[in-house]
Amino acid sequence: MVNVTAMSDDGLMLNVSSDPFPTNINQRSLLSAEKYSWKEKRKESVKRKAVFEPQENSAFKQRKINQTGQQHTHNQKLQSPGSPFQRNNIRHTEETRDQRKNSPAQSPSKVKTFQKKAPEEHKDHGRPFIKTSSLFKNNPVIHDVHSHAVTQVKENVFTNNAFEELNLHHHLVATLEKVLKVTSMTSVQKQSIPVLMLGKDAVIRSQTGSGKTLAYAIPMVQSLQAIQPKVKRSDGPLALIIVPTRELALQTFKMFQNLMNPFIWIVPGVLMGGEKKKSEKARLRKGINVLISTPGRLVDHIRNTLSIAFSSVRWLILDEADRILDLGFEKDLKVILNALNSTGIARQNVLLSATLNEGLSRLASICMKDPVTINVSEGSTGTSHAGPQAATQALSDSYSVPERLKQHVVVVPSKLHLVCLASFILAKCKFECGQKVIVFMSSCDAVEFLLALFTKVLCAKSNSSPANPFTLYRLHGKMKQEERTEVFQEFSQCQTGILLCTDVAARGLDLPQVTWIVQYNPPISVEEYVHRVGRTARIGAQGSSLLFLTPSETAFVDVLANRNIRLTEMKMIDILSALMRDSRFKGRGKWNIKGSGTAFEQEVRERATILQTDFENYVHANNESLQTAKSALQSFLRAYTTYPSSLKHIFHIRSLHLGHAAKSFGLRDAPNGLSGSIAPYPANVKDRKKGKDKRTPPTKLTTMERASNLIRSEFFSGVEGQSKSKKRRIKRKGNTEDSDAA
Ligand SMILES: Nc1ncnc2c1ncn2[C@@H]1O[C@H](COP(=O)(O)OP(=O)(O)OP(=O)(O)O)[C@@H](O)[C@H]1O
């Protein structure tokens, strides 16, 4: 059983009069952390607030009245999120705290005066109960990140060889030059195209963004256009290209449309979840010669569409092959291979990915004959001929990443994750020009939550900054297909913006001019790390990446170093200091440019606290936003349980502090019942034994199954999720359509 303790975070319901910074930790609050439950602490805190409530100066009182149009009663609840009243109120209390420090009022006698006066103040012009964040308290110590020296695996992307050297159809060469604007081959193309033109099976590995798509597309088009008599639509699929996501399917389809422009008698087509199956069936009936599909949707058609036939398939491409073989897709792949093998026609098979490794040997032995291994990295043998097993064994598990990619890591305690990401986004997209950022998260709910939160709080209008200083996009597996396609196209074309997404965008997508990749939640494997960062620095361009880790996760840097991936550390305070450029989060105003480093850091912390308070106020403003935050937290925790056993020593749910994790979703406390939502049934063994717990035990899922479910939901193909009766109905309907057509 996963044993999780939901700890209340000390001082989460903090009285503004207590200092949020560690240097000033109140002894009493520390004691209370040890002695009392959080409820008691809260009572204590309220009591203390009443005792030490500072006097308001009349000017401030006046401003408050003017801004709100009325005086506030002591018991009044929070104002609307981010209202000037609240913000000023927080600042004011910080000012008064400062005044207290610097004035003779520090003496006990003066404090007594406060004690006497405070109740009257409350009676007359009481201020609302302010909840502010305790961001910088009780965080784990951040140690510097050290890893052993790493020599990165190098790969030359470009060659000086022109496509003309390959003896291709002159229309194909002209299309490459004029439509796709490519003249010389990349290394992977130079090594792969001649091998594939000889009709060989191949396992191809080269770094992300090095042109693997054209490496198989050029020889395929060359061979299809040469078939005599000419290919007809009615021949059905001659080439089948399987890719893991819908966006990649669309991208590949578009590339084939361009490449086959001069050969109009060969028809490309795409099948993918989320599209209308009826229209796909109609297109299949008319005939598709180069068929690009996601695995789930293809399986659906194999089962339900009579007009799909594989008797002419002579090319099978598995792009992102390691992903397709991953959990969740393996079953689909078996169905596809069975359908293809039953036709018995000779076929050329190609597996491609930037992270192919030994793990693929089983797939290679099932579907390949004497494959050639093409590995572009320096020091590898280049092209080698061997049996299927040896073909993949020749691939080491050290991956090459683009040479001009600068990889960074920042160690951030859970509580500070949210403000740190927000500061990074402000730095890149508000204060710098032309930055295009992709932020990876572990769940769809987290993407939805952060989109709403950042839109409301970061893009909020203020006197000093115009509304919407930057554009936020989102992409995840629970969105409707039309929306997904729209976002994908918009983000592809935009010059600047931030895409918040799940791993649905991690593989294969060629989004131009992406400058930064942020991994807000760490990847599930080294392979996913490589693919995520590979969305930038493509085809020889520059790019940067930033990996967020908590202090307990820093060993992941060693895991990456063991696979020859080198990261340099960025300091959290440097990221947070972007807040110094945003007057919306101004602190007490004491700091000036000539101030000391400590004063600067203090001001940064205050600004971070103000921003976090704004986030928390937004989240707690209404039930809807609160529920969104809670769902996002739950999904995050669920995703956290799916790390493979080889990484569990780093990413284990038990090492998470739920109160702190809650804070990174703008929650002031860890919601009740969290541990239940991630712990396997039954929570209470005693009750079950006594027969008190009447719940039917759900099927116990292994970590692998949970991960599989998560991945399936992420790459949802449109097949799953239908009731048996609905599936039967659809099947019947589909069969009727097909037989009608036939
Ligand atoms: N020979 C070439 N010269 C210049 N640009 C090229 C060449 N070949 C491909 N490209 C461009 O390089 C970009 C990346 O290509 P592609 O998407 O095929 O990379 P990839 O290796 O498949 O990446 P990933 O591993 O991320 O899927 C595309 O924009 C493509 O048009």
Taking only the tens place, the pLDDT of each residue in 154-176 is 888 999 999 999 999 999 999 99
* Residue 475, strand partner residues: 501
Q: For residue 412, give the DSSP letter.
A: -
pLDDT of residue 95: 33
Same domain, 193 and 324: yes
Residue 735 lies in a domain: no
* Residue 205, strand partner residues: 353, 375
**CATH number of the domain within which 532 lies:** 3.40.50.300
Nearest Cα residue to atom 2 of ligand 1:
182
For the cut 70, the answer to whether the pLDDT of residue 590 exceeds it is no
Residue 443 lies in a domain: yes
How far apart are the C-alpha atoms of 603 and 438, rounded to whole Å? 29
Same domain, 351 and 413: no
* Residue 662, strand partner residues: none
| The overall pTM is greater than 0.80 | no
Q: How far is the CA of 191 from the centre of ligand 1 (A)?
A: 15
Q: How far is the CA of 538 from the centre of ligand 1 (A)?
A: 7
Ligand 1 atom at minimum distance from 512 CA? 29
Q: How far is the CA of 353 from the centre of ligand 1 (A)?
A: 12
Ligand 1 atom at minimum distance from 510 CA? 17
Beta strands in 190-342 (DSSP E): 202-205, 239-242, 268-271, 290-293, 315-319
Q: Where do the H-state alpha helices sit in 342-428? A: 361-367, 388-393, 417-425
Structural domain span for residue 480: 405-583
CA distances from 193 to 168, 204, 216, 238, 372 (A): 10, 11, 7, 18, 12
- Is pLDDT larger for residue 119 or for residue 309? 309
Q: Which residue type does 350 have?
A: V
Percentage of the residues of the chain whose pLDDT score is greater than 70? 67
CA distances from 356 to 188, 325, 387 (A): 14, 11, 16
Sheet of strand 405-411, all strands in order from the earlier edge strand to the far edge: 472-475, 497-501, 436-440, 516-519, 543-549, 405-411, 568-570
Ligand 1 atom at minimum distance from 180 CA? 31
How far apart are the C-alpha atoms of 532 and 209, rounded to whole Å? 11
134-148, 253-267, 298-312 — which is least confidently predicted? 134-148
Which residues have a Cβ under 8 Å from the Cβ of 34 and sit 6 or more positions away? none
How far apart are the C-alpha atoms of 89 and 530, rounded to whole Å? 46
For the cut 50, the answer to whether the pLDDT of residue 688 exceeds it is no
Kindly state the tokens that stand for 60.
């401030």
Same domain, 344 and 211: yes
Q: How far is the CA of 79 from the centre of ligand 1 (A)?
A: 52
For the cut 80, the answer to whether the pLDDT of residue 719 exceeds it is no
Residue 315 lies in a domain: yes
Last residue of a domain, one of 347, 375, 395: 395
Cβ–Cβ under 8 Å, residues 202 and 192: yes
Residue 590 lies in a domain: no
147-151, 353-357, 672-676 — which is least confidently predicted? 672-676
Tally of structural domains, the chain: 3
SS3 150: coil
Percentage of the residues of the chain whose pLDDT score is greater than 90? 54
Q: How far is the CA of 595 from the centre of ligand 1 (A)?
A: 49
Which of 209, 575, 567 lies closest to 407 in space, CA to CA? 567
Residue 667 lies in a domain: no
Q: How far is the CA of 720 from the centre of ligand 1 (A)?
A: 32
Same domain, 464 and 420: yes
Span 335-356, pLDDT tens digits: 999 999 887 678 999 999 999 8
Span 630-667, pLDDT tens digits: 999 999 999 999 999 999 999 999 889 999 999 999 99
For the cut 80, the answer to whether the pLDDT of residue 20 exceeds it is no
For the cut 90, the answer to whether the pLDDT of residue 128 exceeds it is no
For the cut 70, the answer to whether the pLDDT of residue 332 exceeds it is yes
Last residue of a domain, one of 552, 583, 614: 583
Cβ–Cβ under 8 Å, residues 576 and 423: yes
Is 143 buried (19+), middle (13-18) or exposed (0-12) by CB count in 10 A?
Answer: exposed
CA dihedral 190, 196, 201, 202 (to 10 degrees): 10
Cβ–Cβ under 8 Å, residues 273 and 481: yes
Same domain, 298 and 165: yes
For the cut 90, the answer to whether the pLDDT of residue 466 exceeds it is no
Q: Which of 214, 322, 536 to mutate to test the pocket of ligand 1 (most atoms within 8 A of CB)?
A: 214
Nearest Cα residue to atom 16 of ligand 1:
211
Q: How far is the CA of 176 from the centre of ligand 1 (A)?
A: 12
Same domain, 304 and 367: yes
Residue 276 pLDDT grade (very low, low, confident, very high; cuts 50, 70, 90): confident
How far apart are the C-alpha atoms of 97 and 201, rounded to whole Å? 73
Q: How far is the CA of 396 from the centre of ligand 1 (A)?
A: 23
Span 196-216, pLDDT tens digits: 999 999 999 999 999 999 999
For the cut 90, the answer to whether the pLDDT of residue 439 exceeds it is yes
For the cut 90, the answer to whether the pLDDT of residue 575 exceeds it is yes
Cβ–Cβ under 8 Å, residues 204 and 372: no
Same domain, 330 and 440: no
Ligand 1 atom at minimum distance from 189 CA? 1
Last residue of a domain, one of 364, 395, 426: 395
Same domain, 363 and 459: no
Residue 137 lies in a domain: no
Q: How far is the CA of 539 from the centre of ligand 1 (A)?
A: 6
Same domain, 86 and 213: no
Mean pLDDT of 318-335: 86
Residue 187 lies in a domain: yes
Same domain, 445 and 367: no
Beta strands in 482-576 (DSSP E): 497-501, 516-519, 543-549, 568-570
Beta strands in 462-508 (DSSP E): 472-475, 497-501
Same domain, 211 and 185: yes
Q: Which of 212, 254, 492 to mutate to test the pocket of ligand 1 (most atoms within 8 A of CB)?
A: 212
Q: Which of 510, 511, 530, 536 to mutate to test the pocket of ligand 1 (most atoms within 8 A of CB)?
A: 510
Nearest Cα residue to atom 10 of ligand 1:
211
372-375 and 383-385 as β-strands: parallel, antiparallel, unpaired?
A: antiparallel
Residue 147 lies in a domain: no
Q: Where do the H-state alpha helices sit in 641-684? A: 658-663, 674-678
When the pLDDT of each residue in the chain is averaged and rounded to a whole number, the result is 76
CA distances from 537 to 206, 531, 557, 586, 676 (A): 14, 12, 21, 36, 42
pLDDT of residue 422: 96
Kindly state the tokens that stand for 588.
């007490």
144-148, 456-460, 677-681 — which is least confidently predicted? 677-681
Pocket lined around ligand 1, Cβ cut-off 6 Å: 180, 182, 185-186, 189, 208-214, 354, 508, 510, 534, 538-539
Q: How far is the CA of 216 from the centre of ligand 1 (A)?
A: 11
Phi, psi (degrees; rounded to nearest 5) at 80: -60, 150
268-271 and 202-205 as β-strands: parallel, antiparallel, unpaired?
A: unpaired
Span 537-571, pLDDT tens digits: 999 999 999 999 999 999 999 999 999 999 999 99
Kindly state the tokens that stand for 500.
């918040």
For the cut 60, the answer to whether the pLDDT of residue 720 exceeds it is no
Mean pLDDT of 578-596: 72
Same domain, 417 and 460: yes
CA distances from 64 to 69, 77, 88, 127, 736 (A): 8, 15, 8, 10, 71
Q: How far is the CA of 210 from the centre of ligand 1 (A)?
A: 5
Rounded to 10°, the helix 170-178/212-226 angle is 150
Ligand 1 atom at minimum distance from 354 CA? 25
